[in-house]
Amino acid sequence: MAPDLRFDDVSKRFPGVVALGGVSFEAHAGAVHGLLGENGAAKSTLVKILGGQYRPDGGSLQIGGRECHFHSAADAIASGVAIIHQELQYVSELTVAENVLLGRLPTRFGFVDRAAAQRLVVERLTAMGVDLDPGAHLKDLSIAQRQMVEICKAVMQDAQVIAFDEPTSSLSHKETEILFRLVKELRADGRTLIYISHRLEELYALCDACTVLRDGRKIVTHPVMAEVPRERLISDMVGRELSDIYDYRPRPMGETRLHVQGVADGCDFTVQAGEILGFFGLIGAGRSELMRKVYGADRHAGSVMLDGAQVAATDPAAAIAAGIVLCPEDRQEQGILPTASVAENINISCRRNELLGGLFLRHRQEAMRADDFIKRLHIKTPHRDQEIRLLSGGNQQKAILARWLAEPDMKVLILDEPTRGIDVGAKNDIYNIIHEVAARGCCVIVVSSELPEVLGIADRVAVMRDGRIAGTLARADATETAVLSLALPDSTSDLTSDPISARRAA
Amino acid sequence: MSTIPLTSNTAPALQRRRQALLGDYGMPIVYAVLFGVLSVTVENFFSLANVLGLMLSVAQIGMVACTMMLCLASRDFDLSVGSTIAFAGVLGAIVLERSGSVGLAVTAGLGAGAIIGAANGALIAYLRVNALIATLATMLMVRGLAFIVSQGQAVGIANETFISFGDTRLAGIPLPVLVTGACFVVFGVLLNHTVFGRNTLAIGGNPEAARLAGVKVERLRVIIFLLQGLVTAMAGLILASRITSGQPNAAQGFELDVISACVLGGVSLQGGNARIFGVLVGVLIMGTVENVMNLLDVDAFYQYLMRGLILLAAVLLDQLKARGGRG
């Protein structure tokens, strides 16, 4: 049988990195093909090539034996490809019916025929077994309902190839079951389905075959999912023992330096000198919000004490002056100064300490500092004057870390999702930096959704749930089960029993 | 574990450097060529008197372009500069008339400019009004104030000292041109060699990231607009001195000339990008084109057409460059 979807030696480069290095695999109609890999394994890149958002630099894509060259997302849709993206793509001000039929609304005498549109959509939704008001605005629906709208749209477009990019990341257990039923129906209908997820349970429940990616390369394709042992999948994905990249080094700890009190309800905590405190929790557990408040980026009525002195952190500038710094969660939107150079991104804050006559910049000093950090932190950039937006995520993150390492008086380093979307090599570098900073006697706070990461590097783990710290565990007591039982609402602990699915849950 | 290889990039790097060079010096080269060609082809163009006249004609635009550059670099916008020029001129003329004191007149004009600028800044930074809307509103209000205080009439100036600002020459160079030159030096240094300039570019590139990096974004915005108001008022006073009166309807459309000059000079409206040298060239291009069209007796109606076309060409060139850079 000819493959219904075939990637043939597909590659994609971004400035400075090869995101996808010659990936080939096939998927068949009437089957669900799983795509697995760690963050940065290039699963999403592959899906974006399938959806026409990226053009491959090499190799080809074949659907039903025909070679496809998509120049835009519209081309892909016209060829019967639909992508259900991780971040759903809808128009929140339009109704369900309008979203489903966007671009192809039925008209009468040149005007949109609302009645016909609603009828068409209700028919399809009913056939899918989904109860949704076609006149409701997307902005009023839950994420799960919006996802149903996307799936309905794909079906209405008669897409034969449908890819799901981590569809369950924000769904409840019950919503996940509805999604599974829909996917199975689409499979029975003879469509070719690609399913991306970190949750092994899901992949075993849904997929007929699977391909594992790591660092932009295909590791293996398993034609029969059911025959693959779970341990094999994990080692395929990670490529090594899980624990060794964290390189945990016990170190002496001093007195308590940081006291956070009343900043948010039920969120008091302390950090000792030289301690790495991990913060774990599900999406929306309030970790980033808490850290932003401690940093003075958002208002709060509580108190932050550092070395016994009150920190008047009314804005980040004041927090930095007091020695508290933050590497934000969203590197692109909150971390980098995109149009500025790598050197500028490193020097933006610390230069205030060395101004000539309190006013003029010391260019030579700044250039030397930039070069020094580029070398020390292995920042891959052709030159210190390169615009930072052209660097890969890992190297951008290192530059932001360099910005704070350059602060002579850094006392508290807060890292929010420091390794999200970063390749393995850079991760290791970042863990090393974290350990060095802690060894100097700084307080380090690491917020992460990756449970293995938190368990791997933290001396102590604070677990958040529903905006409060549900509990704090010492390293010796912080097992996956212990942390998850604190992090999860009581009812839905069944889907998450292994480390890989746990990081998805977060 | 396989590491991700860096693309080997000696050849593309060279190409990129050439592209960057073209990007940095593209407009200056265009201007140098234009100047050379005009010197040879247009009669009376290449003379000291004409070139100084050309510079004098863009002196006001040049001053204000310096601060407009900062505004645009921080991803903001200021439409109120034309009205501020008129208001500062009218107010200065009235105070001069009533008090006879040049110092008081200048203080009143500059003070008014600073207040208008700070108000713009506060509206945008603290009340989070869109810059386009905020300055559109102040543009209308300030123009209205200019008409109200002058009762719609031009206010004549007879004070010799005040008038001498406009027509004094030092070493043969008109004072307004020298002031403009000084503005370029001062704001060039501010942009490239101070935290103020660097942070301005930072908030233009990404305001939230700049704030989290410790930049006091709101305060900086107010300062940028305050400087803009101050420099604009100075331009208004110099204009009043040159035309020996405060005109409530002076400098209509001036804001667009200034923004045009900045855009011609390669300042990105997306913020985060500005070069003082580029702005200087942008201002000179505007002045030169107008000067040459006058020398060639081109009908004023066609001059509008030409200016629009040149602006469009400059923006398209810029986009081409951006696309090339992104590869």
Residues 309-338 of A with CB under 8 A from B: 315-317, 320-321, 326, 328, 333-338
Residue A199 has pLDDT above 80, yes or no: no
Q: Which amino acid is at A10?
A: V
Q: Do B213 and A348 touch (CB under 8 A)?
A: yes
Phi, psi of A357 (to 5 degrees): 65, 25
DSSP string, A192-213: EEEEE-S-HHHHHHH-SEEEEE
**3-class DSSP state of B141:** helix
Residue B8 has pLDDT above 80, yes or no: no
Q: Across A99-103, B135-139, B317-321, which has the greatest mean pLDDT?
A: B135-139
Give CA–CA dist A168/A130, Å, rounded. 17
Give the distance from residue A401's alpha carbon to the nearest chain B alpha carbon, in angstroms: 11
Question: H helices within A336-377, ranges in order?
Answer: 342-347, 363-376
Q: Do B272 and A359 touch (CB under 8 A)?
A: no
CB A463 within 8 A of CB A281: yes
Provide mean pLDDT across the span A253-262: 92
List chain A residues with CB under 8 Å of B193.
360-361, 363
Residue (of B209, B4, B215, B15) closest to A216 by Cα position: B4
Residue B273 class from Cβ within 10 Å (0-12 exposed, 13-18 middle, 19+ buried)?
A: buried
Q: What residues pair up with A387 in beta bridges, in sequence order?
A: A341
pLDDT in tens, A150-166: 888 888 888 899 999 88
Phi, psi of A451 (to 5 degrees): -60, -45
Higher local confidence (pLDDT), A502 or B282:
B282
Give the distance from residue B213's alpha carbon to the nearest chain A alpha carbon, in angstroms: 6
Give the distance from residue A426's alpha carbon to the nearest chain B alpha carbon, in angstroms: 10
Give the distance from residue B207's alpha carbon to the nearest chain A alpha carbon, in angstroms: 8
Looking at residue A202, its pLDDT comes to 85
Looking at residue A3, its pLDDT comes to 64
Confirm or reject contact between B19 and chain A (CB < 8 A): no
Residue A100 has pLDDT above 80, yes or no: yes
Q: Residue A74: which pLDDT band, with cuts at 50, 70 and 90?
A: confident
Residue A487 has pLDDT above 90, yes or no: no
Provide mean pLDDT across the span A273-293: 89
Confirm or reject contact between A109 and chain B (CB < 8 A): no
Is the alpha carbon torsion for B32, B35, B38, B40 positive or negative? negative
Confirm or reject contact between A58 and chain B (CB < 8 A): no
Contacts 24+ apart (CB under 8 A), A125-130: A125/A152, A128/A152, A128/A155, A128/A182, A128/A185, A129/A181, A129/A182, A130/A178, A130/A182
Looking at residue B152, its pLDDT comes to 92
Looking at residue B266, its pLDDT comes to 85
Looking at residue B211, its pLDDT comes to 94
Looking at residue B3, its pLDDT comes to 38
End-to-end Cα distance, chain A: 40
CB B98 within 8 A of CB B210: no
A200, A299, A491, B225 from A497: Cα distances, Å = 10, 37, 14, 57
Give CA–CA dist A164/A138, Å, rounded. 20
End-to-end Cα distance, chain B: 30
Query: Could you tell me the domains of chain B?
Result: 45-326 (1.10.3470)
Mean pLDDT of chain A: 86
Confirm or reject contact between B2 and chain A (CB < 8 A): yes
Give CA–CA dist A465/B124, Å, rounded. 37
Residue A60 has pLDDT above 60, yes or no: yes
pLDDT in tens, B130-147: 999 999 999 999 999 999
Q: Do A338 and B273 touch (CB under 8 A)?
A: no
Residue B125 has pLDDT above 90, yes or no: yes
Query: Could you tell me the domains of chain A?
Result: 5-238 (3.40.50.300), 272-447+458-491 (3.40.50.300)
Provide mean pLDDT across the span B142-154: 95
